[in-house]
Amino acid sequence: MTQPYHHGNLRQALLERATEILSEKGVEGLSLRGLARDLGVSHAAPLRHFSTKAELLNAIALEGVCSLIAATKKADAQTPGTARLRAIMLAYVNWAIANTELHHVLRNPDVMRHASDDLTTLLASFAARQKAEIRAAQDAGWRADEDPDVLFLHLVSLTAGTAIVSTEEVYQQRVPLPKRQSNIEDSIDLFVG
Amino acid sequence: MTQPYHHGNLRQALLERATEILSEKGVEGLSLRGLARDLGVSHAAPLRHFSTKAELLNAIALEGVCSLIAATKKADAQTPGTARLRAIMLAYVNWAIANTELHHVLRNPDVMRHASDDLTTLLASFAARQKAEIRAAQDAGWRADEDPDVLFLHLVSLTAGTAIVSTEEVYQQRVPLPKRQSNIEDSIDLFVG
DNA sequence: GCATTTATGTAGTCAATGACAACATTGCGA
DNA sequence: TCGCAATGTTGTCATTGACTACATAAATGC
């Protein structure tokens, strides 16, 4: 019995294997031909699904954003206000910690440089949602006298920054995990608290 | 008159041209052979100075960190306390805005993945200095009751995050520059107060 | 059912690249 | 000044991204 001519679900397999490679070797260590080898298909097969390497990376980034958005959506259970802001920010940071490599892809200038319209649109809508949360929290009385734009910038910066500091090796201090986790929560509380 | 056999200062020329390329095409668009062409030397000449592409990127990152440290050093003129913290954080963010591509190199996981000991040591000492500033500010009465580790995490996250939000195109809102600058300052003031 | 169209995979090829080795030229110090 | 180390060149190789022509499977319409 020989290999079937068609792989079955090459597109999905490519995305999954690519994500594995990314966490091992990063964007530069990822090659379309290497993926083809790993999956036992011909060297040009991946091109049927992603016509360039950039397109593959973009698809992974898209997957990442969807996953991130889903993760933060759960925080909607909280009523608007400080608890909800805290939940949203923590959801983001925890998602980044749990999906380090996807997070790195989203942070990689070489990937985002070629971001598709889909991707940028999704990111923009994500930002809009965060902005709306700020407004809602202010309506509920939180920091009502501050400029919403400043609060928005602060929230986005702090969230992105905490995610980066929490996932990039360079920043990893020799701090035990429980302590680190509680530091993250306390740090966020400095803002929302 | 023919070209001299030796370039004269190829190493420096490589670093400069590479930085230009990086801001145009990013890490993936940078090639040792392309640099050689641009500088009119043979395709293998760059290898005399940087035996791999990663080594070149590391050298650029090293240059970047030195430049960043120098930029933040000026804030030392302020006396320890909130004004000094604010000055340090603003110096970082403004450096990132003025040196976007160097900042992107420092933020690029593919570069930092191969960071040399020099580079990580320098980054660690930079972090230590920030930690010391926190302590000094607390000694001067600022947020004296907070956990220094939490304040440190907060400062690093907020600084890195603001720099990223201020330099990555994805985040660039249609906000006029003066307004953006004042937002940055106000956002940082939310923390250093 | 069957033919035609579309999706998917293969084989072959090309230019660009990173990396290495062998050799050439220059300049500096003993 | 002589020799050696630094620097640059030429030649080469495997890998890669990307393209083309072709093969096969699958879906669709009749």
Q: Are residues B72 and B6 in the same domain?
A: no
Residues B193/A136, Cβ–Cβ less than 8 Å: no
Instruction: Say if A42 falls within a structural domain.
Output: yes
Interchain pair B157, A169: CB under 8 A: no
Residues B15 and B76 placed together within one structural domain of the fold? no
Of residues B8 and A189, more confidently modeled: A189
Residues 6+ away with beta carbon under 8 Å from A77: A87
- The CATH number linked to A127 is 1.10.357.10
Residue B38 and residue B62 share a domain: no
Q: Are residues B184 and B157 in the same domain?
A: yes
Is residue B46 domain-shared with residue B67, that is, in the same domain? Answer: no
Which residues lie closer than 8 Å to A19 by C-beta, 6 or more apart? A60, A101, A102
**Interface contacts A/B by beta carbons within 8 Å:** 121
Domain shared by B40 and B57, yes or no:
no
pLDDT given for residue A170 in this prediction = 77
Domain final residue pick, A10, A27, A51: A51
What local confidence, expressed as pLDDT, does residue B1 receive? 44
**Which residue shows structure tokens 């933060």?**
A72
B76-103 average pLDDT score: 93
Domain count, chain B: 2
Smallest Cβ distance to A108: which of B109, B162, B187?
A: B109
Q: Which structural domain, as residue segments, surrounds residue A121?
A: 62-192
Same domain membership, residue B58 and residue B24 = no
- Note whether residue A56 is domain-resident: no
Residues B60 and B30 in one domain: no
% of chain A at pLDDT higher than 70 = 97
Q: Which of A21, A153, A164 to mutate to test the interface with B (most CBs of B within 10 A)?
A: A153
Give A1's pLDDT tier (boundaries 50, 70, 90): very low
Residue A170 to residue B112, Cβ atoms within 8 A? yes
Whether A57 is in a domain gets the answer no
Q: Which nucleotide is nearest to A33 (CA to C1')?
A: D16
- Pair B69, B39 in one domain: no
Q: Which of B26, B108, B161 minimises the CB distance to A160?
A: B161
pLDDT of residue B3: 67
CA distance A30 to A53: 9
User: A157 with A136, same domain?
Assistant: yes
Average of per-residue pLDDT across B49-65: 96
Per-residue confidence (pLDDT) for residue B82, from 0 to 100: 93
Is the CB of residue B48 inside 7 Å of nucleic acid strand C? no
Specify whether A167 is located in the same domain as A89. Answer: yes
Q: How far apart (Å, rounded) are the C-alpha atoms in residues A185 and B2?
A: 65
- Cβ within 8 Å, pair B169-A107: no
Q: What is the CATH number of the domain that holds A47?
A: 1.10.10
Distances (CA, A) of B8 to A188, B11, B52: 52, 9, 21
Nearest to A88 by CA among A152, A171, A3, A180: A152
Q: Which of A62, A68, A170, A189 to mutate to test the interface with B (most CBs of B within 10 A)?
A: A170
A115 and A31 within one domain: no
